[in-house]
Amino acid sequence: SQQGEEDPQALSIQEGENATMNCSYKTSINNLQWYRQNSGRGLVHLILIRSNEREKHSGRLRVTLDTSKKSSSLLITASRAADTASYFCATDAKIIQGAQKLVFGQGTRLTINP
């Protein structure tokens, strides 16, 4: 079963506007990550936020984490055409012997219109 679920499934905005995507998860986590996938390509890591952090910035990206609500949001400010992609959140899930694995949500398809 998937740990993270993104909302909305698809988002279309005008260039220059801000884009907000949300992720909800079910069980406690140590970390949450966001990835971007351009069409036909592999996933690329964007940002990681730890469970004891509430907000993190990286360039035009802002990620928030609310562990009490088991949710995270990714904000992309001043969007550009090049931001058109699918965005995935990934949470850690415990496996054997203390190891962790990444579990991905279904993703949000973001389209930036010129």
Partner 1 sequence: NAGVTQTPKFQVLKTGQSMTLQCAQDMNHEYMSWYRQDPGMGLRLIHYSVGAGITDQGEVPNGYNVSRSTTEDFPLRLLSAAPSQTSVYFCASSYSAFSLVATEAFFGQGTRLTVV
Site for partner 1 in 27-46 (CB under 8 A): 30-31, 33, 35, 40-45
How far apart are CB 93 and partner 1 at their closest, in Å? 9
How far apart are CB 70 and partner 1 at their closest, in Å? 17
Which residues contact residue 93 at a Cβ distance below 8 angstroms, ignoring those fewer than 6 apart? Answer: 3, 27, 100, 101, 102, 103
Number of residues engaging partner 1 in binding (CB under 8 A): 30
How far apart are CB 16 and partner 1 at their closest, in Å? 29
Q: Which is closer to partner 1, CB of 40 or CB of 114? A: 40
Site for partner 1 in 44-103 (CB under 8 A): 44-45, 48, 50, 88, 90, 92, 95-103
Say which DSSP state 77 is in.
-
Degrees, nearest 5: CA angle 50-6-47: 35
How far apart are CB 8 and partner 1 at their closest, in Å? 14
